[in-house]
Structure 1
């Protein structure tokens, strides 16, 4: 019975024995780096992804040119979907199919804070990254590695630039060399940088029994994505192993976050459904068979994602100071967080009907055929959201964010491209997880680590400025850009899906362009 999924007590759930593979995640760093734990099942469940016919041996395989943006896939996969979540010749919605595997590794530096050491580390990391690019094609068939840096790196390791350049004057001190958010600076009458400290939001109030959200202070984070777990593990070993030709001794790993997405677009059962059932998550059998995520709907509509380089610092005039020749041009900001998802509340107790979940995810008052997985309702502006709050005393999760996450007027980029109203500004890169909260943590007590699998999301976004993310996140809590806000609690059932998700960790990172990805700015130290 569907309702029985959430009837177990916490005590009964904790008595279930996790698999031996999952137990490995709670051990040493070396064991955690060497094992993917429960995610070893992904390749077995998904099989070999369909690939184009390989070239003959006499013809070397064409390697797509790598874009200057680290976070971009040169050849993303796209299907046409008719609403069922499956590729269809009759489909009308373009859906991006992300790589099946995604891992994030966060770290502190293990490098002395002086010019000589940092410049040597810069050269070494870049050598490892270039070897990986020569060894493997980019994702999805190979691996895409994205290196990002947190404010602690810049503050502690690059306090002042000792050399001048075409980018900076000699003596420029932290944070004056970081990209400036020109729009927000103008609004506030003071300098605001594109990379800001992470913050809490109204709906971050923890549920009973949970501690407060942890605002992390990592020096860096590496995102790895691809279809092959073997390839991702080889890249992880190259970056964080401790051999002479590896880079692991440059870092002190603080967390390993593993996860997955998709897997059902060919008509089979998705990974979210399969893995949740395999590991007996409460509410697992209620997940739609074709859902690429735990919460039942497709999240990677092409229309809902920005086209490169909209997410870049330099794309639009007046957004940041990186045009025309900024050091961080073709870079972006990556907010990273972990969220728990209450599947029993989403599918049974709080939103028991399909129409309830449609209204919470998209917009009150709309309808779709039963079993719809992929939906593309009309875009909403601020007036639409306020109308729904007045009429239904509720708003939808996606709809509430669109007035901030979509262009509200046509814009022409610095590159001469015209973008129409409702073009998405950000790109999502999040992935489902059963980490609780991480596959590995160097601080199990502080991170409230548990061996018991739990439905969750490692959420990450690519956005031109931190403030854009902050405003999108506030809109999700009913605080709209015009200054009006919903009168009900941002944790209530009326506030989209906020009542069934709970954020545990958050930090913002800067992704430099590919040319400056390794220890950015170290070359200017003296």
Structure 2
């Protein structure tokens, strides 16, 4: 991927593309775009400096992001606009015991360089089941961690399984901060935001790595819809935060950070992470379905009939507007209406009225195709499995006769390409943990 001509695209599209390009080229483009040449009282020209961090004030939970995010008028947490997933495999020559301090120093350097916020930089470090197979402890992980290898979850998919040893999820509203962090860790830049950063590129095998990017927020999908999977004519609404056109991530349709946190054992304070790479095929969504049908499939037929949603979900506040009636006896509703909504089905996986997974997903144009990196946090991977089974709705599709894909929520439009499971340890054990860090780490 290369940068487009600056005059041919909007500023936001240019910055999104710079994140996707990455490296020194992407960083230079971001810095140039975010720097003003107007003289300032202190003699500096950059009026959008990224705030620096206070590493000692951070919580033990790596996934504790909500308290550092902005909120909309209804109290919903607003996700950072730009995201990067760095999948990594440890170089064969690296001894973890000696490399652990180097890795942790690099991560704490980042936390000093950038504020832990959307305006600065948020990140998590997670480890795959493959990572833990190198340790001699039996069992490899404590019973308090339910963390299997990824697997296909429906008969409709045959995904590639991501078996990289670890993944770093970077997120920020500031693309320059995000790219500067990457360049400092894996590239040639030694200082960012006035702080020296310890490099870690020597710890990982560049050939056994991957980089995936994306974005979320009103305006970004519309400005980046000229890709495969979305029909011509710019159908994505200007104020839609996602390619499918509707708001998501309402406060009441998310698990709390407490609910997804591991409660016992050496990894107490951590969480598990599932990441799916989904390819979107939205030609029929935008060309064949009308707004009523899109609302019915995304939420429920009653949402559509009662006009509960609005153009992009602006009529909804802190939840998806589901009533008890909407989520009861879905089989009868599917038979009567000939369609069942995505939100209706997924709500069956709730406990005490709340979901059991916390979503931090985002759209992507990786591979020049519309997609979604579905990132979810949960106490155990089985919580994700239950949620996905409810969303798939095989029982309803089979018994109602609507079929596994067509009119079965949004199943017709999403295709799983990759799946990966990861363990996100608490911050004290995030750097090359053993399978029993309290016993083995010094």
Is 1:76 the counterpart of 2:69? The answer is yes
C-alpha distance in 1, partners of 2:359/2:123?
16
346, 355, 377: which one aligns with 1:462: 377
- Change over 3 Å in CA distance of 1:285–1:329 after alignment to 2: same
Is 1:343 the counterpart of 2:296? The answer is no
Q: Counterpart in 1 of 2:76?
A: 95
217, 222, 237: which one aligns with 1:288: 237
Q: Counterpart in 2 of 1:515?
A: 428
C-alpha distance in 2, partners of 1:333/1:204?
25
Task: Quote how far apart the aligned CAs of 1:521 are.
Answer: 1.7
138, 153, 161: which one aligns with 1:201: 153
Task: Quote how far apart the aligned CAs of 1:71 are.
Answer: 1.6
- Asked if the contact 1:139/1:225 (under 8 Å) is kept, the reply is no
Task: Quote how far apart the aligned CAs of 1:393 are.
Answer: 3.5
Task: Quote how far apart the aligned CAs of 1:303 are.
Answer: 1.1
Is 1:250 the counterpart of 2:203? The answer is yes
- Asked if the contact 2:85/2:170 (under 8 Å) is kept, the reply is yes
TM-score of the two chains, using structure 1 as the length reference: 0.67
Is 1:388 the counterpart of 2:380? The answer is no
Task: Quote how far apart the aligned CAs of 1:327 are.
Answer: 0.9
Is 1:66 the counterpart of 2:5? The answer is no
SS at match of 2:372: strand
C-alpha distance in 1, partners of 2:30/2:401?
42
- Asked if the contact 2:363/2:372 (under 8 Å) is kept, the reply is yes
- Change over 3 Å in CA distance of 1:272–1:148 after alignment to 2: same
Deviations along 1:212-232, one digit per CA (max 9) or x if unpaired, are 421121100000011111111
C-alpha distance in 2, partners of 1:42/1:395?
47
- Change over 3 Å in CA distance of 1:470–1:138 after alignment to 2: same
C-alpha distance in 1, partners of 2:160/2:31?
29
Is 1:334 the counterpart of 2:247? The answer is no
Write out aligned runs for 1:168-317 (5 A).
173-175=138-140, 177-180=141-144, 194-202=146-154, 204-205=156-157, 212-241=158-187, 245-253=198-206, 254-262=209-217, 264=218, 270-277=219-226, 282-283=231-232, 285-314=234-263
SS at match of 2:301: coil
* Number of positions where the alignment pairs a residue of Structure 1 with one of Structure 2: 391
Q: Counterpart in 1 of 2:358?
A: 427
Deviations along 1:82-128, one digit per CA (max 9) or x if unpaired, are xxxxxxxxxxx443211111110001111447xxx211111111000
C-alpha distance in 2, partners of 1:179/1:259?
34
Is 1:502 the counterpart of 2:405? The answer is no
Is 1:106 the counterpart of 2:87? The answer is yes
- Change over 3 Å in CA distance of 1:402–1:217 after alignment to 2: same
C-alpha distance in 1, partners of 2:229/2:343?
29
Task: Quote how far apart the aligned CAs of 1:309 are.
Answer: 1.1
Task: Quote how far apart the aligned CAs of 1:301 are.
Answer: 0.9
- In structure 1, list runs of 5 or more residues that go unmatched: 1-16, 22-30, 48-59, 81-92, 161-172, 181-192, 206-211, 265-269, 315-321, 408-420, 437-452
139, 143, 150: which one aligns with 2:128: 150
Q: Counterpart in 2 of 1:14?
A: none
- Asked if the contact 2:52/2:115 (under 8 Å) is kept, the reply is no
C-alpha distance in 2, partners of 1:260/1:139?
16
- Asked if the contact 1:328/1:513 (under 8 Å) is kept, the reply is yes
Task: Quote how far apart the aligned CAs of 1:286 are.
Answer: 0.7
Deviates more, 1:421-430 or 1:512-521: 421-430
Q: Counterpart in 1 of 2:101?
A: 123
RMSD of the alignment, in Å? 3.3
- Change over 3 Å in CA distance of 1:470–1:40 after alignment to 2: farther
- Asked if the contact 1:148/1:222 (under 8 Å) is kept, the reply is yes
- Change over 3 Å in CA distance of 1:468–1:298 after alignment to 2: same
Task: Quote how far apart the aligned CAs of 1:517 are.
Answer: 0.6
Deviates more, 1:376-385 or 1:231-240: 376-385
- In structure 2, list runs of 5 or more residues that go unmatched: 7-20, 37-50, 191-196
